[in-house]
């Protein structure tokens, strides 16, 4: 398997991923591959389906200073297995990009604070209650694992415009 980045409209980005029920070397290997690809692609987070792995796994590293010199927090690095958002509160405007939508940057509403239940690589349950940038990244990546792309948060009219422009730029890139 090549673990190439999957870009929209790849079908794997539209599906809910399978629950992980193996907490063994295979899982550790998949997580290693995901971190490696995320850093190569200069992403802040990566959901497994974005590189063709059909399971509910996400990795993230919010130390954005590494890539774009953005004002950043020290950064948290984590891998989450079977993550679920169990509580949301507040609302913020969030400007986001996505490795699976090259060139697209949009501003959408997100919850300000989230509580996430997940498992670690050993299968132990963990709970994360957070706000700020980490809360945004968690929402974006958990959405991927449920087959929900970030463009879904745009109004239908805006979504159509963004997608038309995106599809056009894909064609241009393919021609180049």
Whole-number Å distance between alpha carbons of 108 and 89: 15
**Residue number with CB closer to Co ion (81 or 142):** 142
**Residue number with CB closer to Co ion (23 or 63):** 63
Whole-number Å distance between alpha carbons of 18 and 32: 19
**Residue number with CB closer to Co ion (118 or 143):** 143
Spatial contact of 33 and 57, defined as CB atoms under 8 Å apart: no
**Binding of Co ion by 51 (CB under 5 A):** no
In angstroms, how far apart are the furthest CA atoms of the chain?
Answer: 48
Q: Provide the minimum distance between the beta carbon of 141 and Co ion in the complex, in angstroms, as a whole number.
A: 7
Q: Determine whether 125 is an active site residue.
A: no
**Residues contacting Co ion: total by CB under 5 A:** 1
- Return the DSSP state at 171: H
Q: Which of 98, 104, 111, 116 binds Co ion (CB under 5 A)?
A: 98
**Binding of Co ion by 48 (CB under 5 A):** no
Tell me the residue nearest to Co ion as measured from the CB: 98
Whole-number Å distance between alpha carbons of 81 and 86: 15
Q: Provide the minimum distance between the beta carbon of 47 and Co ion in the complex, in angstroms, as a whole number.
A: 7
**Binding of Co ion by 27 (CB under 5 A):** no
Count how many residues are written for the chain. 176
Q: Distance of alpha carbon 145 from its chain centroid, rounded?
A: 8
**Residue number with CB closer to Co ion (82 or 144):** 144
Residues contacting 173, CB < 8 A, separation 6+:
102
Binding site residues, Co ion, CB under 5 A:
98
Q: What residues act catalytically?
A: 141
């Amino acid at each position: 398997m090549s673990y190439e980045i999957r870009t929209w409209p790849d079908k794997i980005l539209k599906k809910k991923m399978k629950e992980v029920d193996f907490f063994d070397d295979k899982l550790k290997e998949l997580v290693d591959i995901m971190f490696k690809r995320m850093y190569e692609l200069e992403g802040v987070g990566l959901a497994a389906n974005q590189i063709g792995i059909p399971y509910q796994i996400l990795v993230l590293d919010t130390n954005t200073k590494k890539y774009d010199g953005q004002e950043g927090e020290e950064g948290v690095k984590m891998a989450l297995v079977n993550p679920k958002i169990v509580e949301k509160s507040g609302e913020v405007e969030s400007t986001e990009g996505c490795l699976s939508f090259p060139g697209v940057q949009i501003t959408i509403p997100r919850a300000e604070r989230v509580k996430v239940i997940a498992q670690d690589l050993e299968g132990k349950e963990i709970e994360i209650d957070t706000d700020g940038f980490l809360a945004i990244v968690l929402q974006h990546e958990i959405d991927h694992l449920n087959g929900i792309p970030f463009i879904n948060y745009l109004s239908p009219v805006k979504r159509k415009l963004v997608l038309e422009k995106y599809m056009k730029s894909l064609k241009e890139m393919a021609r180049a």
